[in-house]
């Protein structure tokens, strides 16, 4: 089992997790709990990353956002569960995004500014305006960063031409 020590800096805005395997993970500007789908429609999160998804980073993040614990089948667990599959309706692309998809499904030509602009519009209209957090995962530097509208261009430049979108929906553990 990996023992984690968490050092908080400046409330919820920045913290560092160090595991017993000396893996340091930095979480920047992550707001409080993501909420629950059954309560006021919250509980949705969009993760954007290049390379492979890092399940450990997401687990550490979720356990920091859902601190309450409940007993389920004799085990004490963090009080959240995932919908599988998870969905996000897109009015910009006129489709539902299910679970995980590659950027090429949205952006045919990364040199075409219209394609990039449409994807940015999707992030603004279908995600941020609906108060759904976007978490950018930098797997090379081991940090997660919550994207705000003013951060979209920076994130797109970091991702270059190849990235993945991972939609998750969380609810109360049952």
Report, as an integer, the average pLDDT of 148-158. 86
Asked whether 36 and 48 are in contact (CB, 8 A), the reply is no
What pLDDT is stored for residue 16 in this prediction?
47
The residue among 12 and 162 whose pLDDT is bigger is 162
Look up the pTM and report it. Answer: 0.81
Domain boundaries, the chain: 4-171
Task: Give the integer Cα–Cα distance in Å for 48 and 117.
Answer: 17
What pLDDT is stored for residue 21 in this prediction?
45
Residue 126 per-residue DSSP state: I
Please give the mean pLDDT across all residues of the chain.
78
Residue 73, by phi and psi: left (phi above 0), alpha (psi -120 to 50) or beta?
A: left
- From the CB of residue 50, how many other CB atoms can be counted at a distance below 10 Å? 17
Task: Give the integer Cα–Cα distance in Å for 76 and 127.
Answer: 32
Token representation of residue 39: 């309560």
Helix (H, G, I), strand (E, B) or coil at 29: coil
If pLDDT is split at 50, 70 and 90, which confidence band does 20 have?
A: very low
**Which residue, chain included where needed, has tokens 């109360």?**
172
pLDDT digits (tens, 9 = 90+) for 58-98: 888 888 888 788 888 888 888 888 888 898 999 998 888 88
pLDDT exceeds 70 at position 11: no
pLDDT exceeds 50 at position 15: no
Asked whether 77 and 173 are in contact (CB, 8 A), the reply is yes
The residue among 137 and 22 whose pLDDT is bigger is 137
Environment class of 151 (CB within 10 Å of its CB; exposed 0-12, middle 13-18, buried 19+): middle
pLDDT digits (tens, 9 = 90+) for 40-61: 668 899 999 987 887 888 888 8
If pLDDT is split at 50, 70 and 90, which confidence band does 32 have?
A: low
If pLDDT is split at 50, 70 and 90, which confidence band does 134 have?
A: very high
Query: Shortest CA distance to 104 belongs to which of 170, 15, 164, 25?
Result: 164
What pLDDT is stored for residue 84 in this prediction?
83
């Amino acid at each position: 089992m990996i023992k984690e020590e968490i050092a908080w800096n400046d409330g919820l805005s920045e913290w560092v997790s160090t595991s017993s395997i000396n893996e340091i993970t930095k979480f920047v500007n992550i707001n409080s709990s993501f909420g629950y789908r059954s309560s006021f429609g919250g509980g949705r999160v969009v993760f954007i990353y290049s390379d492979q998804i890092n399940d450990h980073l997401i687990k550490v993040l979720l356990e920091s956002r859902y601190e309450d614990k409940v007993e389920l089948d004799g085990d004490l667990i963090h009080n959240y569960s995932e919908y599988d599959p998870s969905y996000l309706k897109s009015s910009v692309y006129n489709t539902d995004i299910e679970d995980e998809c590659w950027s090429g499904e949205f952006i045919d030509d990364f040199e075409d500014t219209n394609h990039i602009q449409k994807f940015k519009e999707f992030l603004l209209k279908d995600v941020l305006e609906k108060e759904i957090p976007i978490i950018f995962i930098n797997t090379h530097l081991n940090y997660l960063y919550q994207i705000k509208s003013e951060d979209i261009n920076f994130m797109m430049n970091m991702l270059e031409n190849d990235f993945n979108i991972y939609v998750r929906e969380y609810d109360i553990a049952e």
